A and B are shown apart, each in its own frame.
Chain A
Amino acid sequence: MLEELALIVLLVGLTAYAVLGGADFGAGFWDLVAGGPQRGARMRGFIHSAMGPVWEANHVWLIFVLVMAWTCFPNAFGPLMQTLYVPLFLAAVGIIFRGSAYALRGEAATISEARSLGALFALSSILTPFFFGCAIGAIASGQVPADGDPSRPFDAWTGPTSILIGVLAVATGAYNAAVFLAADARRAGLEDLAEAFRRRALAAAVVAGAIALGGLAVINSDAPELFDGLTSGLGLLAVLASALAGLATIALVARGSFEPARYTSAVAVGAIVAGWALAQRPDILPGELTLDDAAAGEPTLIFVLVGVVFALAIILPSLFVLFRMKLQGRLGEEAAPIAGTTTEEGGAR
């Protein structure tokens, strides 16, 4: 019971990171494909200003997930890190690049500086979720043995299911980002950008949906047990809920109601994460280690869960204030084009 509760908390954190952190990464994707320095300048500037105040808060969800994992499920965390060290290390390096390029780009003085930092930022925005996705795919397809196996540094996470989830992580991130940015642009009164992101959101939705559907075939052949779990019982229910929420989001975006679309798209991600957990129940490392065997002792679980309740009592109101202030436009810089025309100093401002 305690184990399940801890897992739920962990998965809620994972969902929050997938949605909020994923959308941050997705924004990097749109930065990358925003077009040449002239054409893309306004969009880049807007992306930068829209994310400025919140990216760190979004990022902390990752720390939350890591800490929950090693504290509550140490016996799964050890083998996991030992087996999947390559993609996880690469994702971590991606986070360094992304975080620092992002933090520093505001100070870049010349176009070329801003552009190379921007390229680093955008590239790592794509690679990081991809590697995280691959790692999750490797867990779900049963590639992680209970006692860890560092001898397959590349094979463990490059199977079809892993690559599929990696690509899907990038696509859903891009999609969520487009929805969020459209909503932000509308609020800022930038209707043309809102429209641009609306079109991008729809395109990304089609792509992500196609990958997900086609992916089921891949999972069926590569990881039949996962497939069975996802297509029967509670797992199926979660998948259907996710699909429904996804369709609802598309409909809302198409109509231009971006605000509710934020929430339905979060539900779609959360449902698929839940579906994954349900599909491999009662294992945490499929076929290798059950949730109960992986879990820490009772006192630890109790303390962490009680701690989480108190923590949420502090964090949620604070987050609420932050997002509210951001939504009211009370935080942040004006959106200025990035890497537009050169002035001697302010090219990047």
Chain B
Amino acid sequence: MLDGIASLLSPVVAQADTASQAYLLEARQMQALSLGVHIPLVCFGISFPAIVLFVEGLWLRTGNPVYKQLAKRWSKVMLILFAIGVVTGTILSFELGLLWPNFMERWGEVFGFAFALEGVAFFVEAIFIAIYVYGWDRLPPRLHLLSGLPIVIAGIVGSSMVIAVNGWMNTPQGFELDAQGNVTDVDPVGALLNRNLWHEEVHMYVAGFIVVGALVGAVYSVAWLRGRRDHYHRAGLIVPLAVLALAAPAQVVIGDWAARTVAETQPVKLAAFEGLHETTEGADLTIGGVYVDGKVYGGISIPDLLSLLAFHDPNATVQGLDSVPAEDRPPVGWVRNCFQIMVGIGTLLALLGLWFIYVRWRHGRLPQTKWFYRAVIAAGPLALVALICGWIVTEVGRQPWIVYELMRVEEAVTGAEGIPVGYATLVVVYIGLATIALVMLRRLARKPPEAETAAGAGDIKVLP
């Protein structure tokens, strides 16, 4: 998957065709690769603690040891993924400086404050995740549950702060430029609370729950189809499915909000979402289809819908790509196709969630057909695809700017000659990392859960 993303992105850059610096291409792919590795992991950092705490809470309320087994098992997964999230995040921190030194030099003081808060949040997260995971059976149950709360809060705060930086790159604010173009009058909080922050944060946060719900749900669906339907596996299935079922329909609404904000803040990006060439009054929306070389093949065109969706007015004027010179346009093919994939998958996931809710609500049970579980198994990887596509939409849609309309990527990139070597190294490292992590998680999954007795009583440990 990882090198897939890298090769996936190479045509993007070829299309963008702005490389004036020697290794701009490789630098961008390297950045995208590392983000593509980090982001799926941090979905677990964002949502898994809350889910694990919920299951532990069930244990405390019901006293049913199955919930404790499940929470304990999941917390171990959480710790492994957190550790890998930490190292990949560290790579990203280095990369910001190693690949884009001029970006950091010029703008670091504007958005740095958000990163400082992010650092604090991850500090808290690292501390309490250790207390929580290593503290099972050593802390009194209620205190143990409480020790998990800071992880949840820190996950939200930390990811909001990173997103704030990304939002700022898309809608830069909180500073002035003097006549020479130097940054002055920095307002760190104003930069942090930028216009794109809100929808990006909410959309990403919900995406975290969707991805984890779908992936964990997929794992337990496999077990379900293989006939493992005891209480433990049942709980392990229902919890992620409920998460998915609640989050996925909400995401459609949030995504609409995101698109409407982009229509205002980054009209050219919106035009790229839809492959809209000319500025149009009452613009049509084409659903589906594939965009190749300036044309959409296939797809259904609905009159005025784009204007309606973007501005809630069927006659509104939507700015087209032709409103800016060709060298200021993003690579439309990538942006539009990825956008369609995300929206398509988002719709399917929402339908899957509604199916689950309907059956539970009408019949008070799980869906019986095997097709439901097969669909959930497919939903796991699909959610990941939607996540990555969404980020490609946001990031490639911002091209050719690193700071929207203020700094181009080729001004930001390093002049270092060693980039291709570093890139190749990272590809190998990430493949190795992913392989090892998968093997280890599989192994963890094969171990029988630790035997737990009823709530509160002493534990009998099954030594592996």
Q: How far is the CA of A231 from the CA of B53 in the complex (A)?
A: 56
Given A299-B186, A307-B117, decide whether A92 and B94 contact each other with a Cβ distance below 8 A. Answer: yes
Which residues from 395 to 454 on chain B have a C-beta closer than 8 Å to any C-beta of chain A? 414-418, 422, 425-426, 429, 433, 436-437, 440, 443-444, 447
Partner of A104, one of B183, B414, B440: B440
Considering the chains assembled together, what is the distance between the CA atoms of A53 and B83 in angstroms?
11
Q: Which residues of A contact B115 (CB under 8 A)?
A: 67, 70-71
Evaluate contact between A299 and B464: CB separation under 8 angstroms: no
**What's the nearest-Cβ distance from chain A to residue B90, in Å?**
5
Tell whether, in the assembled complex, residue B415 and residue A150 are in contact, meaning their CB atoms are under 8 Å apart: yes
Q: Is A62 an interface residue (CB 8 A)?
A: yes
Nearest-CB distance from A120 to chain B (Å)?
Answer: 9
Contact of B109 with A by CB under 8 A: yes
Interface extent on A, as a size class? 35 or more
A256-297 CB mask vs B (1 if < 8 Å, else 0) is 000000000000000000000000000000000000000011
Nearest chain A CB to B163's CB is how many angstroms away?
16
Query: What are the residues of chain B within 8 A of A54 when measuring CB–CB?
Result: 130
> Which one of B120-128, B297-305, B312-320 contacts A?
B120-128
Q: A56-B82, A330-B139 are in contact. Are A70 and B87 (CB under 8 A)?
A: no
Instruction: Tell me the nearest residue of chain B to A321, going by C-beta.
Output: B131
B123→A104 contact, CB < 8 A: no
A81 and B101 in contact (CB under 8 A), knowing A57-B130, A67-B93, A318-B150?
Answer: yes
For A349, what are the chain B residues with a Cβ–Cβ distance below 8 Å?
463-464
Give the shortest distance, in Å, between B287 (CB) and chain A (any CB). Answer: 41
Would you give the 0/1 interface string for B110-150, flagging 1 where the beta carbon is closer than 8 Å to chain A? 10110111111011101111110011001100000000001
Q: Cβ of B127 and Cβ of A57 under 8 Å apart? A: yes
Interface presence of B293 (CB below 8 A): no
Give the nearest-CB partner of A78 in chain B. Answer: B105
Query: Closest CB of chain B to A111's CB: distance in Å?
Result: 15
Q: Looking at the complex, which one of A99, A107, A311 makes contact with B444 (CB distance below 8 Å)?
A: A107
Q: Contact between A297 and B109 (Cβ–Cβ < 8 Å)? A: yes
Give the residues from 116 to 149 in chain A that come closer than 8 angstroms, CB to CB, to chain B.
117, 148
Residue of B nearest to A323 (CB): B127
Bitwise, A40-76 to B at CB < 8 A (1) or not (0) is 0000000000001110110110111011101110110
Determine whether the beta carbon of B135 is less than 8 Å from that of A74: no
Interface size on B, residues (CB 8 A): 72
If A60-B119, A70-B108 touch, whether A96 touches B88 (CB-CB below 8 Å) is yes
Residue interface mask A307-336, B partner, CB < 8 A = 1 = 110010011001101100100001111000
Interface of B (DSSP majority class):
helix
The answer to whether A102 has its CB under 8 Å from any CB of chain B is yes
Known contacts being A74-B109, A296-B112, A299-B188, is A332 close to B134, with CB within 8 Å? yes
Does A304 lie at the interface of the complex (its beta carbon under 8 Å from any beta carbon of B)? Answer: yes
Residues of A within 8 A of B119 (CB): 60, 63-64, 67, 311
Q: Which of B106, B130, B418, B433 contacts A56 (CB 8 A)?
A: B130
Q: A96-B433, A307-B120 are in contact. Are A86 and B84 (CB under 8 A)?
A: no
**Contact A56 B109, beta carbon cutoff 8 Å:** no
Does A153 lie within 8 Å of B87, measured CB to CB? no
Identify B128's interface contact among A86, A150, A318, CB under 8 A.
Answer: A318
Contact check, A153 vs B440: say whether CB atoms are below 8 A apart. no
Nearest-neighbour CB distance to chain A for B29, whole angstroms, equals 15
B416 touches A85 (CB 8 A): yes
- How far, in angstroms, from A60 to B189 measured CA to CA in the complex? 24
B24-64 vs A, CB cutoff 8 Å, 1 = contact: the mask equals: 00000000000000000000000000000000000000000
The reply to whether B123 and A64 contact each other, CB–CB distance below 8 Å, is yes
Q: What's the nearest-Cβ distance from chain A to residue B434, in Å?
A: 10
Q: Enumerate chain A residues within 8 angstroms of B82, measured Cβ to Cβ.
A: 56
CB distance from A134 to the nearest CB of B (A): 15
Closest CB-CB distance, A31 to chain B, in whole Å? 17
Is B80 in the interface zone, CB < 8 Å from A?
yes
Residues of A within 8 A of B440 (CB): 104, 107-108
- Nearest-CB residue, chain A, relative to B430: A96
Give A80 Cβ to nearest chain B Cβ, in Å: 8
* A96 & B101 in contact (Cβ 8 Å cutoff): no
Chain A neighbourhood of B96, CB < 8 A: 70
* Residues in B whose Cβ lies below 8 Å from that of A70: 96-97, 104, 108, 112, 115
| Residues in A neighbouring B110, C-beta threshold 8 A | 300
Cβ contacts under 8 Å, B444 to chain A: 107
Contact indicator A52/B414 (Cβ below 8 Å): no
Residue of B whose beta carbon sits closest to that of A71: B112
Query: Does residue A79 face the partner (Cβ distance < 8 Å to B)?
Result: yes
Besides A108-B440, A299-B185, A322-B127, 11 other CB < 8 A contacts?
A60-B122, A64-B119, A67-B119, A70-B112, A81-B98, A81-B414, A85-B414, A96-B90, A104-B80, A150-B416, A315-B120
11 A–B contact pairs at CB < 8 A?
A: A63-B122, A71-B108, A77-B105, A81-B94, A81-B414, A86-B418, A88-B94, A96-B433, A296-B186, A297-B183, A318-B150
A residues at B contact (CB < 8 Å): 52-54, 56-57, 59-60, 62-64, 66-68, 70-72, 74-75, 77-82, 85-86, 88-89, 92-93, 95-100, 102-104, 107-109, 117, 148, 150-151, 153, 296-297, 299-300, 303-304, 307-308, 311, 314-315, 318-319, 321-322, 325, 330-333, 345-346, 349
Nearest 6 interchain pairs by C-beta: A71-B112, A78-B105, A296-B109, A74-B108, A103-B83, A81-B97
